[in-house]
Amino acid sequence: MIGEWVALPVLRGAGGTSIADPIAAEIMYPTAERLLARCDAVLRLPGTSKGADQDVAIARERGLPVYTSLEEIPGVAVAV
């Protein structure tokens, strides 16, 4: 689950039109942080993302495992 999947409809409902909208900061990051309260771990996908880096920091503060590849996740079989 990616925080934006939850936050973007909320942003639109609040009248925001994009993540560049001033109201986005009040919705996007807090929504992602609340979503993290329900997570057992985080998979950090490659690429530059301030929001993803913030999610990783929050996860680490909460003691959640942070993985950077599927191979690192216990019990996940990766097809070759």
Query: Rounded to an integer, what distance in angstroms lies between the CA atom of residue 12 and that of residue 8?
Result: 6
pLDDT confidence of residue 17: 83
% of the chain at pLDDT higher than 90? 38
**pLDDT at 79 (0 to 100):** 77
Give 18's contacts (C-beta < 8 A, 6+ positions apart): 24
Q: Of the given ranges (33-37, 68-72, 74-78), which has the lowest mean pLDDT?
A: 74-78
Domain ranges for the chain: 3-72
What are the backbone angles phi and psi of residue 5, rounded to the nearest 5°?
A: -60, -30
pTM > 0.75? yes
Across the chain, mean pLDDT equals: 88
